[in-house]
Amino acid sequence: MKIVHNKDGFSLIELLVAVALSVIIMAAIYSTFYSQQKSFLVQEQLAAMEQNLRAAMFYMERDIRMAGCDPTRKAGAGVTTADATSLRFTEDIDGDTVPVSIFYSLYTDTDGIQKLGRTAGGGAIPVADNIEVIDFV
């Protein structure tokens, strides 16, 4: 009787080696993907913080440049208080001798997030979130 050896397929050892190599390659690809994903999230948060700060600086710059604006010199506009965490000043842009009081301060909201707020005749409006330190002096 003649034994026929069929060499067309793969042996079990060859299949196990191929699967092991595939697992190692997929683990390396996943590790790279996970690392890139974490880096992307950090960069996205940094970009959001920078944009938040840029917008806050725009509004603060505009208001502080107008601090003390008093075209009629009858409103008594100017900086009234300035300390490490707050700045209060008045301005009379429209010249009606009624100064508008603007107050920037660092406060903590109900969620425990520190914010830079702007108050001008009403409640504090958040200008920037997650501000840990600010010094107006």
Q: What is the pLDDT along the chain (137 residues), one digit of tens a residue?
A: 677 666 677 889 999 999 999 999 999 999 999 999 999 999 999 999 899 889 999 999 999 898 888 888 787 888 899 998 899 999 888 878 788 899 999 989 899 999 999 998 788 899 998 888 888 87
Question: Which pair of tokens denotes residue 29?
Answer: 């690809």
Amino acid in position 72:
T
Ordered by start, the domain boundaries in the chain are: 12-129
Q: In terms of pTM, does the model score above 0.85?
A: no
Could you tell me how many residues make up the chain?
137
Give dist(CA 89, CA 77) in Å, integer.
7
CA distances from 13 to 10, 16, 17, 19, 33 (A): 8, 5, 6, 10, 30
* Maximum pairwise Cα distance, the chain: 121
CB 104 within 8 A of CB 116: yes
